Structure 1
Amino acid sequence: MSEVLYAIGVGPGDPDLLTLKAVKTLEKVDVIACPAKDNEPGIAYTIALQACPNIASKKTLSLNFPMQKENLTDAHNSAAEKIIADLRSGKSVAFLTLGDPGFYSTFSYISDAVKKSGYNIEIITGIPSFCAAAAKIGLSIAEGDEAVMITAGEYKTFDGTLIIMKAGSKLKELKSAIRNDGKTAYLIENCGMQNETVYSGVDAIPDKTGYFSILIVTA
Structure 2
Amino acid sequence: MSGKLYAVGVGPGDPDLLTLKAIKIIKNADCIACPESHGEPGIAYGIAKEAVPEITSKELLLLDFPMRKDDLFDAHKKAAEQIIHYLSLGKNVAFLTLGDPGIYSTFFYIAAMIKKQGYEIEVISGITSFSAASAKLKLPLSLGDESLMITSGKYCESEGTLVIMKAGKKLKEIKEKAFARNKHIYLVENIGMPDEKVYFDSQSIPDEAGYFSLVIVK
TM-score, structure 1 normalization: 0.98
In 2: Cα distance, 1:143 partner to 1:177 partner: 23
Residue 10 (structure 2) pairs with residue 6 (structure 1): no
Distance 2:38 2:78 in 1: 15
Conserved? CA contact 1:161–1:216, under 8 Å? yes
What is the 5 A alignment of 1:200-219? 200-218=200-218
Unpaired stretches in structure 1, ≥5 consecutive residues: none
4+ residue segments displaced more than 2 Å: none
Matched, 1:161 2:161: yes
Alignment partner, residue 173 of structure 1 = 173
Counterpart Cα distance in 2 of 1:214 and 1:153: 9
Report the counterpart of residue 32 of structure 1 in structure 2: 32
Whether the 8 Å contact between 2:34 and 2:95 is mirrored in structure 1 is yes
Query: CA shift at 1:2, angstroms?
Result: 5.8
- Structure 2 counterpart of 1:115: 115
Secondary structure at the aligned position of 2:162 is classed as strand
Which whole-Å CA distance do the structure 1 matches of 2:114 and 2:198 have between them? 39
Assess if the C-alpha contact under 8 Å between 2:167 and 2:215 holds in 1: yes
Query: Pairwise CA RMSD of aligned residues?
Result: 1.0
What do residues 78-124 of structure 1 show as CA deviations (whole Å, max 9, x unaligned)?
11110000000110000000000011001011001110111000000
Matched residue type, 1:33: A
Aligned residues: 218
Offset, 1:158: 1.4
Matches within 5 A, 1:24-173: 24-173=24-173
Name the counterpart of 2:16: 16
* Paired residues of 1:101 and 1:126 also in contact (CA < 8 A): yes
Distance in 2, matches of 1:139 and 1:61, equals 38
Shift of 1:38: 2.4
Q: Work out whether residues 12 and 129 of structure 2, in 8 Å CA contact, stay in contact via their aligned partners in 1.
A: yes
Offset, 1:39 = 2.4
